[in-house]
């Protein structure tokens, strides 16, 4: 009980701090901060699949797209009567995010059930394929704008809500790892055959992790849609999936704090490199980005933190 | 019926290009168990190398077979060098780490090539000089066979036969097959494993460059992202045939090309690019090892 209270306090403190920052900082910075938080949510959710359960998904942007389009459609087509006062706006947003989570979780379940029979490279390719198929299907739905994109999504997100969702994901993942479900996932990552021999229902846990990750990605997509107020199928292509994978890998597969730190770094890096672009007159940002990925893989294959967490490292420092 | 035959012919021409690229995927997978995501971008680099050679030779004004062969050889040489470098710098240091890291490195190399390509060559597509103006060689009723298709067929067939000869009849090929069975055992009997892996990348990349040039013969356009889609489709072809199997890559390539021509001919072209993925997912769900692949259950 005390722990639950502490968790709740942590959640509120973190999100209030974020909202405070958003008020103090210039609008440009708070926009970048919110984008970084959304990316961090995506990274934390993918970390559940790629890091904790040791599977390799390359189609996370597809689930983000499902969430973004569902949230936008629900909010614009169904809940527009609520958009009269600030409270109604927030209720509508939260309802549409919940529906988005359900929808993308369901799609994640449908995709995960057959795909997770495969391993390693094959799984990566199949998830890539499903991600692209989701994108092509959305591209062909005219009622949500098709290739033109979805316009006119209400601007109702706040730094508070984004940071709150991120903090919620962190707490949930942290507690999952400590639970028997989390241990089962870790066992699958270490050795699937051995885990199965020990009585772990590997299919159930793998599909479960995949579904949860898809649902969270859907929420991130919904937040993203309301943050940008415009979404386009091209945003959720293969590149976006790769970007999320890069965040997880850079942070260290399985490390929650690593994923968050990497998501912030990689969102801020292109912004920080803007002056360079003015000097060289060339858009070298993506070159640096991809070079960084290869170099990190060569120099530090386990990512920044490996499987450790920021707090583990800090705790060790204080002990010695 | 004649429309069908024409589609079959067009599809087979495109399919032989896919087959050449698929061979590179399948050889690298066979020897390293790595999906070389950068392979499609090697096609792109080969096409650019061919473009600059053709411009240097003035092939636009002087479209001869000799010029075509020179362009082809230059592209194959440049791509082979690039393939060697990539293996040496990015993949070899990661021989002993989990394969997932290798896969991510391959994605990284692929992104690096695409973005470098956009910076160096510019993001706008460039026209490829028409090395061989199209000319209808034979007409059977409504079905036309043009000289470009003949060129594509003969070149790719020649390259595939050359590959078959290397793999099956030479000492190098025997070494390649041995390494693909087991690195350790091959090393024990005195095969220089690293050299053989380098050689595999060189051969695969040269084939990719040839495919790049051949696809430019019929679609004379190059851009830095041209390798992405063609690479993915060729990869699907390799998986369809059974990744690791050379015969499978060829069969898969032709199947892919023909299936695509049929979808465009009889269905909708918006779903053309989704076809590759749909095909991939079907084959992976029902026959993950592909047509000619061997299924190896995991041993404890």
Residue extents of the structural domains in chain B: 16-227
| Residue range A161-217, pLDDT digits in tens | 899 899 999 888 888 888 999 999 999 988 888 999 999 999 999 999 999 999 999
A132 and chain B in contact, CB less than 8 A = yes
Q: Average model confidence (pLDDT) for chain A?
A: 86
Q: With H, G, I as helix, E, B as strand and everything else as coil, classify residue A57.
A: coil
Query: Contacts of residue A245 in chain B, CB cutoff 8 Å?
Result: 104, 107
Q: What angle do CA A262, A267, A269 make, to 5 degrees?
A: 90
Query: Contacts of residue A139 in chain B, CB cutoff 8 Å?
Result: 270
Among the partner residues A126, A242, A283, nearest to B284 by beta-carbon distance: A126
Query: Contacts of residue B114 in chain A, CB cutoff 8 Å?
Result: 290
| Residue range A6-49, pLDDT digits in tens | 777 888 888 888 888 878 888 888 888 899 999 999 999 999 99
Residue B297: predicted pLDDT: 55
Instruction: Give the side-chain half-sphere CA count within 13 A for B31.
Output: 31
Percent residues over pLDDT 90 in chain B: 45
Among the partner residues B115, B278, B298, nearest to A133 by beta-carbon distance: B278
Binary contact (B35, A298; C-beta < 8 A): no
Residue A317: predicted pLDDT: 63
Most B CBs within 10 A among A282, A290, A291, A299, hence the mutation to make, goes to A290
A249 and chain B in contact, CB less than 8 A = yes
Percent residues over pLDDT 70 in chain B: 96
Q: Above 90 in pLDDT, residue A67?
A: yes
Joined together, the tokens standing for residue B126 give: 């460039």
Q: Above 70 in pLDDT, residue A224?
A: yes
B161 and chain A in contact, CB less than 8 A = no
B85 to chain A, closest Cα gap in Å: 14
**Prediction ipTM score:** 0.79
For residues B28-34, average pLDDT? 87
Residue A1: predicted pLDDT: 56
C-alpha of B143 from chain center: 28
Scan residues 53-92 of A and list those with Cβ closer than 8 Å to B.
56
Query: Contacts of residue A250 in chain B, CB cutoff 8 Å?
Result: none
Q: Above 70 in pLDDT, residue A117?
A: yes
Among the partner residues A120, A136, A291, nearest to B273 by beta-carbon distance: A136
Residue of A nearest to B105 (CA): A294
Among the partner residues B101, B107, B280, nearest to A242 by beta-carbon distance: B107
Q: Average model confidence (pLDDT) for chain B?
A: 87
Residue of B nearest to A286 (CA): B115
For residues B17-37, average pLDDT? 91
Binary contact (A114, B285; C-beta < 8 A): yes
Binary contact (A124, B116; C-beta < 8 A): no
Q: Above 90 in pLDDT, residue B50?
A: yes
Q: What angle do CA A49, A51, A57 make, to 5 degrees?
A: 40
C-alpha of B212 from chain center: 8
Among the partner residues A118, A124, A297, nearest to B108 by beta-carbon distance: A297
B267 to chain A, closest Cα gap in Å: 15
Q: Could you identify the residue written with the tokens 């069908």? A: B4
Most A CBs within 10 A among B22, B89, B94, B100, hence the mutation to make, goes to B100
Pairing of strands B126-127, B136-140: unpaired
Q: Above 60 in pLDDT, residue B204?
A: yes
| Residue range B164-198, pLDDT digits in tens | 999 999 999 999 999 998 899 999 999 999 999 99
Among the partner residues B98, B104, B277, nearest to A133 by beta-carbon distance: B277
Among the partner residues B34, B105, B116, nearest to A287 by beta-carbon distance: B116
Residue A145: predicted pLDDT: 83
Residue of A nearest to B298 (CA): A193
Residue B156: predicted pLDDT: 92
Binary contact (B107, A245; C-beta < 8 A): yes
For residues A218-239, average pLDDT? 92
- Per-residue confidence at A54, pLDDT binned at 50, 70, 90? confident
Q: Where are the beta strands (DSSP E) in chain A?
A: 150-151, 230-231
Most A CBs within 10 A among B96, B111, B122, B243, hence the mutation to make, goes to B111
Residue A79: predicted pLDDT: 85
C-alpha of A59 from chain center: 12
Neighbours of A234 (CB within 10 A): 12
Rounded Cα–Cα distance for residues B299 and B94 (Å): 24
| pLDDT: which is higher, A63 or A319 | A63
Q: Above 80 in pLDDT, residue A306?
A: no
Helix axes B2-32, B147-169, angle to 10 degrees: 30
**E strand or H helix at A150:** strand A150-151
For residues A115-119, average pLDDT? 80
| Residue range B126-176, pLDDT digits in tens | 988 887 777 787 787 778 888 888 889 999 999 999 999 999 999 999 999
Q: In this structure, are residues A126 and A241 in contact, taking their beta carbons and an 8 Å threshold?
A: no
Rounded Cα–Cα distance for residues B11 and A318 (Å): 66
Binary contact (B270, A140; C-beta < 8 A): yes
Most B CBs within 10 A among A53, A59, A129, hence the mutation to make, goes to A129
Q: In this structure, are residues A47 and A259 in contact, taking their beta carbons and an 8 Å threshold?
A: yes
């Amino acid at each position: 009980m005390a722990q639950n209270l502490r968790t709740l306090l942590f959640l509120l403190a973190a999100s209030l701090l974020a909202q405070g920052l958003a008020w103090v900082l210039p609008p440009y910075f708070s926009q970048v901060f919110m984008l970084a938080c959304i990316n961090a949510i995506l990274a934390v959710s993918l970390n559940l699949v790629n890091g904790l359960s040791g599977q390799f998904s390359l189609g996370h942007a597809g689930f983000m797209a499902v969430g973004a389009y569902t949230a936008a459609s629900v909010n614009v087509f169904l809940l527009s009567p609520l958009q009269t006062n600030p409270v109604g706006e927030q209720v509508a947003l939260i309802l549409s995010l919940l529906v988005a989570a359900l929808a993308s979780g369901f799609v994640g379940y449908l995709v995960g059930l057959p795909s997770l029979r495969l391993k390693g490279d094959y799984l990566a390719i199949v998830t890539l394929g499903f991600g692209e198929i989701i994108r092509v299907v959305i591209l062909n739905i005219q009622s949500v704008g098709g290739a033109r994109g979805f316009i006119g999504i209400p601007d109702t997100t706040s730094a508070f809500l984004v940071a709150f969702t991120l903090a919620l994901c962190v707490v949930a993942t942290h507690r999952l790892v400590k639970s028997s479900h989390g241990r089962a996932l870790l066992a699958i990552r270490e050795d699937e055959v051995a885990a199965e021999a020990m009585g772990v229902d590997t299919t159930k846990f793998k599909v479960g992790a995949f579904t949860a990750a898809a649902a969270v990605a859907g929420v991130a997509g919904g937040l993203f849609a309301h943050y940008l107020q415009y979404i386009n199928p091209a945003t959720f292509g293969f590149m976006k999936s790769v970007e999320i994978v890069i965040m997880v890998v850079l942070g260290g597969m399985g490390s929650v704090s690593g994923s968050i730190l990497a998501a912030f770094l990689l969102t801020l890096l292109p912004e920080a490199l803007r002056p360079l672009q003015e000097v060289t007159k060339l858009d070298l940002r993506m070159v640096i980005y991809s070079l960084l990925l290869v170099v990190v893989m060569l120099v530090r294959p386990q990512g920044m933190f490996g499987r450790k967490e920021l707090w583990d490292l800090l705790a060790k420092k204080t002990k010695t | 019926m004649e429309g069908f035959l024409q589609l079959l012919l067009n599809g087979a021409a495109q399919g032989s290009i896919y087959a050449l690229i698929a061979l590179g995927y399948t050889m690298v997978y066979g020897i390293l168990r790595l999906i070389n995501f950068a392979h499609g971008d090697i096609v792109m680099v080969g096409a650019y190398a061919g473009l600059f050679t053709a411009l240097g030779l003035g092939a636009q004004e002087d479209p001869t077979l000799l010029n075509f062969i020179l362009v082809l050889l230059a592209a194959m040489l440049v791509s082979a060098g690039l393939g060697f470098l990539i293996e040496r710098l990015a993949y070899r240091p990661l021989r002993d780490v989990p394969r997932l890291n290798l896969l991510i490195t391959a994605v990284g190399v692929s992104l690096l090539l695409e973005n470098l390509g956009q910076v160096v060559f510019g993001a706008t597509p460039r026209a490829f000089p028409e090395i061989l103006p199209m000319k209808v060689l034979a007409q059977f009723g409504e079905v036309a066979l043009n000289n470009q298709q003949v060129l594509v067929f003969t070149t790719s067939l020649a390259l595939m036969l050359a590959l078959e000869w290397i793999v099956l009849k030479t000492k190098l090929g025997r070494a390649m097959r041995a390494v693909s069975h087991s690195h350790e055992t091959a090393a024990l009997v005195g095969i220089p494993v690293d050299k053989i892996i380098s050689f595999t990348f060189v051969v695969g990349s040269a084939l990719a460059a040839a495919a790049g040039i051949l696809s430019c013969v019929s679609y004379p356009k190059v851009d830095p992202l041209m390798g992405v889609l063609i690479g993915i489709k060729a990869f699907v072809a390799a998986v369809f045939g059974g990744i690791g199997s050379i015969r499978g890559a060829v069969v898969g390539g032709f199947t892919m090309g023909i299936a695509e021509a049929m979808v465009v001919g009889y269905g909708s072209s918006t779903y053309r690019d989704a076809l590759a993925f749909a095909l991939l997912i079907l084959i992976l769900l029902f026959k993950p090892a592909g047509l000619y692949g061997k299924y190896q259950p995991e041993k404890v």
